[in-house]
Structure 1
Amino acid sequence: MTLINWEKRKNPTKEEITKFAQEKKLTPLVSELLLERDITKTVDIESYLHSNADELQDPFGLHDMDKALDLIDQAVESQAKIAIYGDYDADGVTSTSIMKLTLQKLGNKPIFYIPDRFKDGYGPNLERYKFLADQGIDLLITVDNGVSGKDEIKYLKDRGVKVIVTDHHDLPEELPEADAIVHPSIPGSEYICPYLSGAGVAFKIADALLGDEALELIDLAAIGTVADSVALKGENRVIVTEGLKQMKQNHHVGLSAMLKKCKIKASSVSEEDIGFKIAPRINALGRLENASSGVELLTTGDASFAKEIVDETEEINSRRQELVAAAFADAQSQIADQKDNGVLVLKGNNWHQGVLGIVASKAMDQENKPVLATQFDENSQVMKGSGRSPEGFNLFTALNSHRDLFTSFGGHAQACGFSIEESKLDELTKLVQAQPKKQDFDPKAPIVKKYDLDLKVSDLNFDLIKEIQQLAPFGMGNPKPVLKLSNVSLEQARSIGKDATHLKTMVADNGHQVGAIGFSMFSQYQNLNSDICDVYGELGINEWAGRKNLQLMLDDFQVSPKAQKIGELKKVYLDYRNKRLSASVLDHFDDIVFFNDVYYEAAKRSNVKAKLIHYNEKCDGNNVLIYDRPHNLDLFKEFIKNNKTQHTALFFHTDLTQRYLEPDMAKMKTLLKYLYSHPDIKADGMDLVAKYLEMQKNDVDFYLKVFFELNFVKMVNGFVEKANASQQRELIESPTYLKRLKRNDVEKILIESNFDDLLSWISDYDCHC
């Protein structure tokens, strides 16, 4: 398991947070989160916290937008045949859907084509372009692809077909000779939001063509934006924020059907619902089948047809999950066999090609190593592969240096796809093992992750969620704040899920607790060697049977530094607080330490072989017993600061028959008021006063002694009378009262606490730490 080193994103001081909160009229928590994200200007804060449709940018700021609109207008007016060429992932499906609905609103009936992952591959495909040209299309609009299709687009141009490319992917060295290229990163024409998704670019075209009516399509753009993991900054935040609002209005029959199937309330749909429920189902279509049905779903107005597609999509997604689980389980033996390899090359045993990327990703997360997952393809007679790599390792660089081995290859730093002859796979496996060293990548090195807030369990509530939610939507470039809960315990832990790999637990601290879920974390919990942890996770709400409860989604938990200290102290300190000490047991100790002379003198009269010493004498024994309890914690602190023993047993004996009592302020006031109104009470008559006031006699004696010390009352001829105190006095000024408080501290910390809590307190002072 890879070790994670957690660092706070930034560390603004309390003074900086308070000043910022006052100046910007924000809560301290929201202020801290904004400061950590370097969002400090008033205009930026307003845009960040209150994104709305008014902040959508002028679509004509995109390269060639005017050309694209002219071509579309001409095609619509002339009733030309328009084809949309999309992609098989969620961004491609939503891009295609947006373009299709936009053209339909203009009165055109376009056809669309979604490439088949297995037959067509990614991006422009010459054979499919020929197929479309043969159908007599006049205009081809690519969405979420096309910028790398130089040769394919030239073919269409030679056939007299006009081409509009709308894309957002990395630009090739040479752009295709399309009639218009709408792209946010064209050199010299960079758009204000260069990290638009494919669906975002398609929406901007809809915006230019339809104006305000395009807002009915922004929910589809939000799905593509979240699904494609583009940065949720600038206009992308507006698209997702407004898209979520539009989803609640149920403009799309198919999307409403999917929300219902996923058991998502339209009134509370979130970006997390898109990322974890909606997008995976759309992606599943392209992984196992043809994703065209996804476009049909998002563009249909027929509710019964939508339900059919949603039911089919659900079955496909369930099958995808089963295929992933089976393939990943099958991969474990190969992963174990390659434990010494810097790059894992996995060979599928009838794995479905559509899940290779997910298997590679899961193996990467498990091992923190680059992974290539492959499967032999019967049709092409080559190995098809998908690769994933952690941050710090450039997979594209690693494989590009051996490009001659591949029949096809493409990708970027953290992901790739390729084809390779089976006979060359072993050669590739050997060659790539040199890459981690070349790139100075150590898979065993700790991963550095960021957290945002240091909190206690008692700080967690629904208001906190509302504050955090002000920074939504969360995603790439704007991660959901991670909370750190220090020195907490995991209680009632149990495994859940079909394969019993997930952890369900309660995170507890000082009587407060919150439910928590850790996916694939039960084995990590089983290997935990301490009850005290630092826990990291995101706070959310779990709704079940109509009830809402706080729930922490765990990212990690680690034995805390304090727990590590406690573990070391357990080798030194022994809990004897509830043991009976016989003479034979006492003889095992070198020194026996006393805090009270009464017990010391009594021990001297017994036949004990151990050396008897006072707490302030030199203790030179290896095995020591602390016999009795001090009346003041400071005395015990000094002893453990100055005596480094091998073993110290803590007995803390006392002859007191009851616990030290907290002074009861109400009873003290009642007694004082009674004494002031009855000046004829003798000091030896306090037993009657105690009985009348229904108090314990020893409590009354204690309170009375405090009153004398503070000059609240005085003794006159044997009677207790009101004193003429000239100034206000605090109870803590009474030596008797102060001593009682200190004795209470001794009781709570040394006697009543469990052993881990006692050692936690000791760790702050002990010389062994």
Structure 2
Amino acid sequence: MTLINWEKRKNPTKQEIDKFAQSKKVTPVVAELLLERDIVEDSDIEAFLHSDVTELQDPFGLHDMDKALELIDEAVESEKKIAIYGDYDADGVTSTSIMKLTLQKLGNKPIFYVPDRFKDGYGPNLERYKELADQGIDLLITVDNGVSGKDEIKYLKDRGVKVIVTDHHDLPKELPEADAIVHPSIPGAEYVCPYLSGAGVAFKIADALLGDEALQLIDLAAIGTVADAVALKGENRVIVTEGLKQMKNNNHVGLSALLDKCKVRLSNVTEEDIGFRIAPRINALGRLENASSGVELLTTGDESFAKEIVDETEDINARRQDLVASAFADAQNQIQAQKDNGVIVLKGNGWHQGILGIVASRTMDQENKPVLATQFDDNSGVMKGSGRSPEGFNLFTALDKHRDLFTAFGGHAQACGFSIEEDKLDELTKLLQDEPSQQGFDPKAPVVKNYDLQLNIADLSMDLIKQVQQLAPFGMGNPKPIIKLGNVSLSQMRSIGKDASHLKTQITDEQHRIDAIGFGMFEKAASLTTNLCDVYGELGINEWRGKKNLQLMIDDFQVSPQAQVLADLKNVYLDYRNKGLSTKILEHFDAVVFFNEAYLEAAKRFNVKTDLIMYNENCDGKNVLIYDRPHNLELFQKFIKNNKTQHTALFFHTDLTSRYLKPDMIKMKALLKYLYSHQNITMEGMDLVAKYLNMQKNDVDFYLKVFFELNFVKIVNGFVEKANASQQRELIESPTYLKRLQRNDVEKILIESSFDDLLSWMSDYDCHC
């Protein structure tokens, strides 16, 4: 199991937060989150918190946008045949859909082609380009791909086909000789938002061609932006924010049908719904089938046809989930067998090639190691594979050293795809094992993650959710804030889900509680030695039967440092405070320790066959029992500081319970007032005074002794009278009163507290900690 070290993203002081909140007119919570994200300038804060359509940038700021529009306008006006070449993931499907709908709004009827993951591979494919050219196309527009298609695009150019490349991926050393390349990162012509998704680039073309009418397509651009995990900064925030608003207008019957199938209400759709419900279903099409149906879904105006595609999509997604679960379970034996390997290489047993990346990703999360997941492909006769690696390990660098072993290879630092002959896979596996050490990557080192807010359960509220939501949409570059709840308990833990792997629990402190869910966390919770934890998670709302309740989605929980200290101390200290003692029990200990000599002398008369010693004698390494309680806490503190015992039983006997009564200020004042207002009261008459004032006689004796010590009263001719005190005195100046307070502290901490609370107090002084 991967260890996680949680660190605060940043640590602004309370004074800094309050000052920032006041000057920027935001709440302290929003102020802290902005400071953590280095969003401090007024203009940046305004753009971040209040993204709207007016912040969409001029589309003609993109490289070759003017050329692309000329080509498209000419092709539309001349009624030329236009083809769109897309990609099979959610970004590619939405890019293709945006371009198709844009051209249709201009009066053109384009054809489109979405590559097949298994037949065509990623990006430009020469065979498919030949087929399109043979169909007599005049213009090809690539979306979400194309910059790597130098040779393929040259073929089309040689056939007299015009080519517009729209892409956002990393640029190769040589760009293709297309008629126009619309890309946000062309050197010398970098766009103001260089991290647009493929769908974002396609939307900018729609914006240039259609103007305000393009806003009807921004919801599709939002899906591609979230799905492709590009940074939600700058214009990307505007695209997602406005896209979510646009979804509520129900412009696309296919998207509405998909949301309905996902049980997402149009009025309440969020970026999380895109990331966890919509995008996975669209991606499933390209993983198991052909993603062309996804384009048909997002561009159709036929509700019944849309419903058919959605039902098919749901079936495919469910099959994808089952295939992933089966393959991942099948992989566990291989994972266990390679537990000492630096890089894990999995060989599929009939695994579907479309889910290899997911299996690699889940294994990476589980083991915190680079993973290659492979499966033999009957059509090509080679192993097809997909790799994933954690931050800190460059998978592309590791594999690129052995490029000669692959029949095909591509990717980047954290993900790759490849083909390799089966007999060379074992060779590659051996060559990769030294790579983690060569790159200085330790898979056993804890993974560092950040949390944003440290709060108490009492701080969690619907209003807090509203404050946090001001920073939405969340995603890459703007993660949803993680809340830390420190030193809380997990209670009422139970397993849920088909495989009973998920955790449903309540997080509690002494006075408050909140429901919580932790996916895949029941086994970890069941193995806890203590339920006192630090919990990290995202605050949300669980709606059930029309009722809304707060709920924490748990990202992680760890035994808190304080809980670990208590667990360690429980290996040393034993709670004997409510146990009965006998001579036989005492003789199990190496020594019995006393704080009061009177108890020590009394114990000696019983001839106990063990050492009877005072608290100031050395007890290091011994098994001891503390028999009585000290008169003040300092004595006990010194004992636990100076004696590293093997085990210590805490009995804390006393027969002086009446002396541990808490002084009652009201009764003290009542007694003093009575003595001041009455004459001829003798010490012998105090029984009657106590009875008249409804007080215990021992309380009256105690209060009277304090009054004498503070010179509030005196004895004159056998009578108690008011003294002529020359200065005001504090009760704590009375030795008797101070002693009583000290004994009350002993009673409260050593006797009345729970064992956990007692050990928690002791941990500040104990030499075992």
**TM-score (structure 2 length as normaliser):** 0.91
Question: What CA distance in whole angstroms lies between the structure 2 residues aligned with 1:165 and 1:702?
Answer: 98
* Aligned residue number for residue 244 of structure 1: 244
* Aligned residue number for residue 287 of structure 1: 287
- What letter is aligned with 2:420? I
Greater displacement, 113-122 / 739-748: 739-748
* Aligned residue number for residue 395 of structure 2: 395
Question: 1:690 touches 1:700 (CA, 8 Å); kept in 2?
Answer: no
* Aligned residue number for residue 364 of structure 1: 364
Q: Given the alignment of the two structures, is residue 278 of structure 1 paired with residue 278 of structure 2, yes or no?
A: yes
* Aligned residue number for residue 546 of structure 2: 546
* Aligned residue number for residue 268 of structure 1: 268
* Aligned residue number for residue 231 of structure 2: 231
For residue 334 of structure 1, report the CA deviation from its aligned partner. Answer: 1.4
For residue 361 of structure 1, report the CA deviation from its aligned partner. Answer: 0.7
For the structure 1 residues 306 and 752, does the alpha-carbon distance in structure 2 shift closer, same or farther, using more than 3 Å as the test? farther
Question: 1:710 touches 1:729 (CA, 8 Å); kept in 2?
Answer: no
Greater displacement, 73-82 / 699-708: 699-708
Question: 2:621 touches 2:644 (CA, 8 Å); kept in 1?
Answer: no
Question: What CA distance in whole angstroms lies between the structure 2 residues aligned with 1:485 and 1:170?
Answer: 41
Which structure 2 residues correspond to residues 314-393 of structure 1 after superposition, within 5 A?
314-393=314-393
For the structure 1 residues 544 and 705, does the alpha-carbon distance in structure 2 shift closer, same or farther, using more than 3 Å as the test? farther
- What letter is aligned with 1:222? A
Question: 1:613 touches 1:619 (CA, 8 Å); kept in 2?
Answer: no
Question: What CA distance in whole angstroms lies between the structure 1 residues aligned with 2:459 and 2:365?
Answer: 31
- What letter is aligned with 1:162? K
For residue 126 of structure 1, report the CA deviation from its aligned partner. Answer: 1.6
- What letter is aligned with 2:45? I
Which structure 2 residues correspond to residues 698-709 of structure 1 after superposition, within 5 A?
none
For the structure 1 residues 405 and 761, does the alpha-carbon distance in structure 2 shift closer, same or farther, using more than 3 Å as the test? same
For the structure 1 residues 202 and 705, does the alpha-carbon distance in structure 2 shift closer, same or farther, using more than 3 Å as the test? farther
Local SS of the residue matching 1:507: strand
Greater displacement, 194-203 / 520-529: 520-529
1:84-105 per-residue CA deviation (whole Å, 9 max, x = no partner) reads: 1111111111111111222222
Question: 1:679 touches 1:720 (CA, 8 Å); kept in 2?
Answer: no
Question: What CA distance in whole angstroms lies between the structure 2 residues aligned with 1:298 and 1:624?
Answer: 76
Q: Given the alignment of the two structures, is residue 36 of structure 1 paired with residue 36 of structure 2, yes or no?
A: yes
* Aligned residue number for residue 512 of structure 1: 512
Q: Given the alignment of the two structures, is residue 258 of structure 1 paired with residue 258 of structure 2, yes or no?
A: yes
For the structure 1 residues 430 and 52, does the alpha-carbon distance in structure 2 shift closer, same or farther, using more than 3 Å as the test? same
For the structure 1 residues 685 and 41, does the alpha-carbon distance in structure 2 shift closer, same or farther, using more than 3 Å as the test? farther
Question: What CA distance in whole angstroms lies between the structure 1 residues aligned with 2:674 and 2:364?
Answer: 77
Question: What CA distance in whole angstroms lies between the structure 1 residues aligned with 2:92 and 2:57?
Answer: 22
Which structure 2 residues correspond to residues 204-603 of structure 1 after superposition, within 5 A?
204-596=204-596, 599-603=599-603
Question: 1:710 touches 1:731 (CA, 8 Å); kept in 2?
Answer: no
Question: 1:591 touches 1:621 (CA, 8 Å); kept in 2?
Answer: no
* Aligned residue number for residue 162 of structure 1: 162
Greater displacement, 262-271 / 388-397: 262-271
Structure 1 residue runs without a partner (length 5+): none
For residue 707 of structure 1, report the CA deviation from its aligned partner. Answer: 10
Local SS of the residue matching 1:171: coil
- What letter is aligned with 1:103? L
C-alpha RMSD over aligned residues: 3.3
For the structure 1 residues 618 and 310, does the alpha-carbon distance in structure 2 shift closer, same or farther, using more than 3 Å as the test? same
* Aligned residue number for residue 2 of structure 1: 2
Q: Percent of pairs identical after alignment?
A: 77
Question: What CA distance in whole angstroms lies between the structure 2 residues aligned with 1:636 and 1:582?
Answer: 24
For residue 229 of structure 1, report the CA deviation from its aligned partner. Answer: 0.7
For residue 640 of structure 1, report the CA deviation from its aligned partner. Answer: 1.4
* Aligned residue number for residue 651 of structure 2: 651
For residue 671 of structure 1, report the CA deviation from its aligned partner. Answer: 6.3
Question: What CA distance in whole angstroms lies between the structure 1 residues aligned with 2:734 and 2:428?
Answer: 82
Question: 1:686 touches 1:697 (CA, 8 Å); kept in 2?
Answer: no
Question: 2:65 touches 2:180 (CA, 8 Å); kept in 1?
Answer: yes
Local SS of the residue matching 2:359: helix
Which structure 2 residues correspond to residues 614-653 of structure 1 after superposition, within 5 A?
614-616=614-616, 622-653=622-653
For the structure 1 residues 67 and 18, does the alpha-carbon distance in structure 2 shift closer, same or farther, using more than 3 Å as the test? same
Question: 2:628 touches 2:652 (CA, 8 Å); kept in 1?
Answer: yes
Which structure 2 residues correspond to residues 24-173 of structure 1 after superposition, within 5 A?
24-173=24-173
Question: What CA distance in whole angstroms lies between the structure 1 residues aligned with 2:708 and 2:217?
Answer: 79
1:110-158 per-residue CA deviation (whole Å, 9 max, x = no partner) reads: 2221111111111111222222222222222111111111111122222
For the structure 1 residues 566 and 67, does the alpha-carbon distance in structure 2 shift closer, same or farther, using more than 3 Å as the test? same
Question: What CA distance in whole angstroms lies between the structure 1 residues aligned with 2:628 and 2:542?
Answer: 49
1:372-416 per-residue CA deviation (whole Å, 9 max, x = no partner) reads: 111111222221111111111111111122222222111111111
Question: 1:168 touches 1:183 (CA, 8 Å); kept in 2?
Answer: yes
For the structure 1 residues 202 and 765, does the alpha-carbon distance in structure 2 shift closer, same or farther, using more than 3 Å as the test? same
For residue 74 of structure 1, report the CA deviation from its aligned partner. Answer: 1.9
For residue 106 of structure 1, report the CA deviation from its aligned partner. Answer: 2.2
Question: What CA distance in whole angstroms lies between the structure 2 residues aligned with 1:672 and 1:54?
Answer: 77
Local SS of the residue matching 2:383: strand
Question: 2:345 touches 2:373 (CA, 8 Å); kept in 1?
Answer: yes
- What letter is aligned with 1:406? F
Local SS of the residue matching 2:463: helix
For the structure 1 residues 710 and 212, does the alpha-carbon distance in structure 2 shift closer, same or farther, using more than 3 Å as the test? farther
1:172-215 per-residue CA deviation (whole Å, 9 max, x = no partner) reads: 11111111111000000011111111111111112222222222
For residue 554 of structure 1, report the CA deviation from its aligned partner. Answer: 2.2
Question: What CA distance in whole angstroms lies between the structure 1 residues aligned with 2:725 and 2:311?
Answer: 84
Question: What CA distance in whole angstroms lies between the structure 2 residues aligned with 1:429 and 1:193?
Answer: 40
For the structure 1 residues 633 and 375, does the alpha-carbon distance in structure 2 shift closer, same or farther, using more than 3 Å as the test? same
Local SS of the residue matching 2:413: coil
For residue 513 of structure 1, report the CA deviation from its aligned partner. Answer: 2.7
Local SS of the residue matching 2:177: coil
Question: What CA distance in whole angstroms lies between the structure 1 residues aligned with 2:508 and 2:487?
Answer: 9
Question: What CA distance in whole angstroms lies between the structure 2 residues aligned with 1:465 and 1:155?
Answer: 55
Question: What CA distance in whole angstroms lies between the structure 2 residues aligned with 1:220 and 1:198?
Answer: 11
Question: 1:659 touches 1:747 (CA, 8 Å); kept in 2?
Answer: no
Question: What CA distance in whole angstroms lies between the structure 1 residues aligned with 2:705 and 2:309?
Answer: 81
For the structure 1 residues 605 and 404, does the alpha-carbon distance in structure 2 shift closer, same or farther, using more than 3 Å as the test? same
1:688-729 per-residue CA deviation (whole Å, 9 max, x = no partner) reads: 6666xxxx7589859976996999997999999999999999
For the structure 1 residues 620 and 126, does the alpha-carbon distance in structure 2 shift closer, same or farther, using more than 3 Å as the test? closer
1:276-327 per-residue CA deviation (whole Å, 9 max, x = no partner) reads: 1111111011111111111122122222222222111111111000000111
- What letter is aligned with 1:313? T
* Aligned residue number for residue 198 of structure 2: 198
- What letter is aligned with 1:139? L
Greater displacement, 545-554 / 78-87: 545-554
Local SS of the residue matching 2:566: helix
Question: 1:197 touches 1:230 (CA, 8 Å); kept in 2?
Answer: yes
Question: 1:668 touches 1:703 (CA, 8 Å); kept in 2?
Answer: no
Question: 2:690 touches 2:700 (CA, 8 Å); kept in 1?
Answer: no
Greater displacement, 547-556 / 347-356: 547-556
- What letter is aligned with 1:137? I
For the structure 1 residues 441 and 620, does the alpha-carbon distance in structure 2 shift closer, same or farther, using more than 3 Å as the test? closer
Local SS of the residue matching 1:436: helix
- What letter is aligned with 1:443? P
Number of residue pairs matched by the alignment: 764
Question: 1:686 touches 1:700 (CA, 8 Å); kept in 2?
Answer: no
For the structure 1 residues 330 and 719, does the alpha-carbon distance in structure 2 shift closer, same or farther, using more than 3 Å as the test? farther
Local SS of the residue matching 1:176: coil
Question: What CA distance in whole angstroms lies between the structure 1 residues aligned with 2:261 and 2:291?
Answer: 18
Question: What CA distance in whole angstroms lies between the structure 2 residues aligned with 1:69 and 1:555?
Answer: 47
Question: What CA distance in whole angstroms lies between the structure 2 residues aligned with 1:314 and 1:685?
Answer: 88
Question: What CA distance in whole angstroms lies between the structure 2 residues aligned with 1:374 and 1:367?
Answer: 17
Local SS of the residue matching 1:548: strand
**TM-score (structure 1 length as normaliser):** 0.91
